[in-house]
Structure 1
Amino acid sequence: MAKVTANDLLEEFQLEILAGEEGIYRPITTSDISRPGIEMAGFFTYYPAKRLQLLGRTELSFFEQLSNYDKEDRMEKLCTYDTPGIIISRGLEAPKELLAAAEKVGVPLLRSNMTTTRLSSSITTFLDSHLAPMTAVHGVLVDIYGIGVLITGNSGVGKSETALDLVRRGHRLVADDSVEIRQVEEGTLVGRSPELIQHLLEIRGLGIINVMTLFGAGAVRPFKRISLCINLELWDQNKAYDRLGLEEEKMKIIDSEITKLTVPVRPGRNLAVIIEVAAMNFRLKRLGIDAAQEFSERLTSVIEAGDHDEFQ
């Protein structure tokens, strides 16, 4: 899991730091954000101290009605050694009791000019993306007709060359060689390229080529949701390959499953066209059009009709 700190938020959202600068690198471990309204009233029994705390106009208006003793007490309880940060929205003034408590414990106190709801939504989206479980897969990720296709297979089987052919056919490269995959939510996998090799393809005999420079900005994209995996393997005469497509194999990545197809490789097979058609067929299946199932039903009806004729 990637590490996110208050300093990352400071840079991403152009926040202003008011106090607790020494704790700016405290790790943020959850994307949940708390608006401590009930804590302002004095109920800290279930206080989620490990979450980011967001204070808006409602919380601070209520805080101003408290006695001086309660103000100090609430702020001291709000600022714990586990709290990764406190953010004030709408550019509101920070209470002096909060400034003192944050400085004492080293809780970074930040301020934004954004509205509370918009700030909460933006930070949650950012944290969901950066704190999502991640893994890396050896393969190529290409956007084919809006379908994120992960091409896997042993080294040298022709993944990058196939990706190059797909790019020439108008599709978009996301990542080559190494694909960083994050599970942003259960059942949703998003792949991107490591920054070091972004937009690059390695073609044996040619070396490293820059796809964006050669084919333009429309030939690449920074990330894509993965829906289909196509595994390339050298043709094995002793192996029975699926010829109808009735059975759907699944591949598990982190906690999510995606459809997996195995395509045998041998001279004369145009892999780019096969993968392109596989992506189109996958999209049709999601729309409820399954050619293999329709053929199976048609075949069954013909067999049943033949059996009926025999009994006439």
Structure 2
Amino acid sequence: MDPITVEILYKETKKSLKLELLAGKSGLKNKISQAEIHRPGLALSGFVDIFSYERIQVLGNTEIAYLDSLSERERTIAINRLVEFDIPCIVVTNGNKVFPALVKLCDERGIPVFRTPHSTTHFYRLLSGYLEEKFAPRVAMHASLVDVYGIGVLLTGRSGIGKSEVALDLVERGHRLVADDVVTIIRKGDDLLIGMSDELL
């Protein structure tokens, strides 16, 4: 799946995630290429050998409390360790305070900083669901898809073999046509496939 920009994330989830943009507006074109999310506690403390900087970084109560325990100089050094990497964006959860050093350094580096009132756990759940949907493997197939008692029945075969006719016959028997001609199949998790139409039927 192609990367998405931070701007797309912001526009599509601003209401549900209750995101407030506080810094780094120039970095809204930064790319998000992974569905996973990261909490950078170790990176803030100085261990960056295996820092997953390509992911969205979340600062929860623990990270904010750690930064708050530092002197202003130490805090600036810790934040600088974080933002020297090409991070897509940073989200501060629980409505926590955002330190001036974080705003200043992220403005300079073009790293968007958001704040949300959601708890870290709830935010993780919402954001993970959105990113998993965005990055889920998908394929478009020449087929028909019918909802039969809540189960998707995918009708495939060469052109002209009668897929649409079989689908319409099922519809006449009370089942629901989901897609005809082109069906998009999305894999969610290891054992769930979801089919949909590109157009409203």
* TM-score, structure 2 normalization: 0.90
Structure 2 equivalent of residue 115 of structure 1 = 119
Q: More relative contact order in 1 or in 2 (CA 8 Å, sep 6+)?
A: 2
Does 1:56 pair with 2:89?
A: no
Does 1:11 pair with 2:24?
A: no
Q: What's the CA shift string for 1:15-44, capped at 9, x where partnerless? A: 111111121122211111111122222222
Does 1:198 pair with 2:178?
A: no
Aligned mates of 2:64, 2:99 — CA distance in 1: 8
* Aligned partners of 1:137 and 1:180 also within 8 Å: yes
Q: What's the CA shift string for 1:198-231, capped at 9, x where partnerless? A: 21xxxxxxxxxxxxxxxxxxxxxxxxxxxxxxxx
Counterpart residue type for residue 43 of structure 1:
F
Does 1:100 pair with 2:104?
A: yes
Unaligned runs of 5+ in 1: 200-312
Aligned mates of 1:22, 1:46 — CA distance in 2: 27
Structure 1 equivalent of residue 79 of structure 2 = 75
* Aligned partners of 1:87 and 1:110 also within 8 Å: yes
* Aligned partners of 1:141 and 1:173 also within 8 Å: yes
* Aligned partners of 1:4 and 1:131 also within 8 Å: no
Aligned mates of 1:3, 1:41 — CA distance in 2: 29
Secondary structure at 2:195's aligned position in 1? strand
Structure 1 equivalent of residue 51 of structure 2 = 47
Please point out which of 28, 35, 38 is paired with 1:24: 28
* Aligned partners of 1:10 and 1:16 also within 8 Å: no
Structure 1 equivalent of residue 153 of structure 2 = 149
Residue 95 of structure 1 and its aligned partner are, at CA, apart by 0.7
* Aligned partners of 1:133 and 1:182 also within 8 Å: yes
Give me the identity figure in percent. Answer: 39
Counterpart residue type for residue 42 of structure 2:
I
Unaligned runs of 5+ in 2: none
Aligned mates of 2:92, 2:41 — CA distance in 1: 13
Does 1:37 pair with 2:41?
A: yes
Aligned mates of 1:163, 1:25 — CA distance in 2: 43
Instruction: Kindly tell me the number of residue pairs found equivalent between the two proteins.
Output: 197
Counterpart residue type for residue 163 of structure 2:
K
* Aligned partners of 2:24 and 2:109 also within 8 Å: yes
Secondary structure at 1:150's aligned position in 2? strand
Secondary structure at 1:153's aligned position in 2? coil
Aligned mates of 2:133, 2:45 — CA distance in 1: 33
* Aligned partners of 1:179 and 1:191 also within 8 Å: yes
Aligned mates of 2:148, 2:91 — CA distance in 1: 41
Aligned mates of 1:167, 1:4 — CA distance in 2: 37
Aligned mates of 2:59, 2:110 — CA distance in 1: 18
Aligned mates of 1:95, 1:163 — CA distance in 2: 59
- Cα root mean square deviation, aligned: 1.7
Aligned mates of 2:176, 2:81 — CA distance in 1: 52
* Aligned partners of 2:2 and 2:33 also within 8 Å: no
Secondary structure at 2:141's aligned position in 1? strand
Secondary structure at 2:156's aligned position in 1? strand
Residue 181 of structure 1 and its aligned partner are, at CA, apart by 1.7
Aligned mates of 2:145, 2:91 — CA distance in 1: 38
After TM superposition, the structure 1 = structure 2 runs for residues 1-312 of structure 1, keeping only pairs within 5 Å, are: 1-14=1-14, 15-194=19-198, 197-199=199-201
Aligned mates of 2:171, 2:112 — CA distance in 1: 46
Aligned mates of 2:195, 2:32 — CA distance in 1: 23
Secondary structure at 1:170's aligned position in 2? coil
Residue 81 of structure 1 and its aligned partner are, at CA, apart by 5.0
Secondary structure at 1:49's aligned position in 2? coil
* TM-score, structure 1 normalization: 0.59
